Amino acid sequence: MQPKMAGYWFNMGITCDRLKRHSEAMAAYKRARDLEPSNADYQAASKDTNDPVRSRRSG
């Protein structure tokens, strides 16, 4: 199944990151970005897989 909802892929990326599955996280973040290229969160996450949610909160 390949959901066409960017939020699904973004959440999958976060989950994979937290499980230290960084290559899978990057693929999920890129899929989210491809589905919603104007979303700044998805763009940032697809460039850095070091838990983008946490790094956004601390910055």
Q: pTM of the predicted model, to two decimals? A: 0.77
Identify whether 54 is part of a domain: no
Is there a domain that residue 55 lies in? no
How many structural domains does the chain have? 1
- 21 occurs within a structural domain: yes
Confidence label for 46 from pLDDT (cuts 50, 70 and 90)? confident
1 in any annotated domain: no
d(CA 35, CA 54): 23
What does the pLDDT read at residue 49? 52
Tell me if 58 is assigned to some domain: no
Domain range for 23: 6-49
Is residue 34 domain-resident?
yes
Cα–Cα distance measured from residue 34 to residue 55, given in angstroms and rounded to the nearest whole number: 22
Q: Is residue 39 part of a domain?
A: yes
Task: Specify whether the CB–CB gap between 43 and 11 falls below 8 A.
Answer: no
- On whether residue 22 sits in a domain, the answer given is yes
